[in-house]
């Protein structure tokens, strides 16, 4: 009798243990089914390089603007036949002179060959504000002959020459008037956006501008005035030129016709 009673107590104890254990097993099973699965992060696609990060990526291949280049002796020997075959390069401004006595030794050859191979040609003078103006005019005009020009002369303005802003502007305006008197038309003025904003705000309203700024976004001048050409790169590549080259394009609805040299 005692054995039967002891066996019954043991069976009852086992049944109670199983009853306590069953809910814990179901709870663990439920926890596994509601676990949050984290999504793997997808890496963002890299942005394509800009024309300033990859000089072989050509702006002229992706837009409808009128494009051109400017060249000097720094580019060395230029294969003008190859440059002329590039139908997306419509014009070239060639360095002619600098200050009162410097001459670009490639200028005359470049003028002849650029014409021969179909580009519209203009010439520019690098302005030295503190140098005798009459000497600079003589230096430029003896080489920049009207009969060889398709585009109006351009004045490259990048330095004050150590003059105050007022003295610099006085010298610049006097030289611009001298060029206008000689060629019977106002020259184009080339300068950098920051230089213009610092020294030339409101001082060149009667002149067409070429503005240089090497960024992906079009430059905006502090006085918000219009300009005709944007030089957007100093590290461009053009077949026929072995070095980097300055590239520019016309803005908006502006066209080459506006810069035509009137003979």
The DSSP symbol for 260 reads B
The pLDDT value recorded for residue 244 is 94
Q: What per-residue string of b and e applies to 83-109 under the rule 16 or more CB within 10 Å gives b?
A: bbebeebbbbbbbbbbbbebbbebbee
Q: Report the C-alpha gap between 99 and 128 in whole angstroms.
A: 5
Beta bridge partners of 173: none
Residue with tokens 């814990």: 24
The DSSP symbol for 65 reads S
- On the CB side of 54, how many CA atoms lie within 13 Å of its CA? 8
* Alpha-carbon distance values, 27 to 36, 195, 242 (Å): 16, 75, 76
Q: The whole model's pTM is what?
A: 0.79
Burial of 168 (0-12, 13-18, 19+ CB in 10 A): buried
The pLDDT value recorded for residue 100 is 98
- On the CB side of 38, how many CA atoms lie within 13 Å of its CA? 3
Token duo for residue 93 = 């401004």
Q: What is the pLDDT tens value at each position of the chain, 263 positions in all?
A: 545 555 555 555 555 455 554 444 444 444 454 555 565 665 666 665 665 666 555 676 567 789 999 999 999 999 999 999 987 899 999 999 999 999 999 999 999 999 999 999 999 999 999 999 999 999 999 999 999 999 999 999 999 999 999 999 999 999 999 999 999 999 999 999 999 999 999 999 999 999 999 998 999 999 999 999 999 999 999 999 999 999 999 999 999 999 999 99
Q: What per-residue string of b and e applies to 70-79 under the rule 16 or more CB within 10 Å gives b?
A: bbbeebeebe
């Amino acid at each position: 009798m005692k054995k039967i009673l002891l066996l019954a107590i043991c069976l009852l104890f086992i049944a109670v243990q199983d009853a306590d254990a069953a809910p814990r097993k179901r709870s663990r099973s439920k926890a596994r089914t509601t676990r949050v699965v984290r999504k793997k992060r997808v890496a963002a696609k890299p942005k394509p390089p800009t024309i300033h990060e990859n000089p072989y990526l050509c702006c002229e291949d992706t837009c409808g603007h009128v494009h051109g280049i400017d060249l000097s002796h720094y580019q060395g020997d230029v294969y003008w036949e190859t440059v002329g075959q590039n139908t997306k390069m419509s014009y070239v401004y060639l360095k002619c002179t600098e200050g009162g006595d410097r001459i670009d030794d490639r200028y005359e050859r470049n003028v002849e060959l650029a014409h021969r191979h179909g580009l519209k040609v203009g010439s520019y003078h690098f302005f030295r504000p503190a140098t005798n103006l009459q000497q600079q005019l003589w230096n430029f005009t003896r080489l920049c002959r009207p009969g060889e020009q398709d585009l109006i002369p351009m004045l490259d303005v990048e330095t004050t020459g150590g003059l105050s802003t007022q003295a610099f502007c006085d010298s610049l305006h006097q030289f611009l008037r001298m060029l206008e008197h000689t060629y019977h038309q106002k020259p184009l003025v080339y300068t950098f956006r920051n230089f213009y904003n610092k020294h030339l705000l409101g001082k060149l309203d009667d002149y067409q501008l070429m503005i240089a700024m090497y960024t992906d976004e079009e430059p905006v001048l502090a006085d918000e005035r219009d300009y005709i050409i944007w030089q957007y790169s100093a590290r461009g590549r053009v077949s026929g030129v072995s070095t980097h080259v300055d590239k520019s394009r016309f803005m908006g609805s502006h066209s080459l016709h506006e810069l035509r040299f009137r003979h």
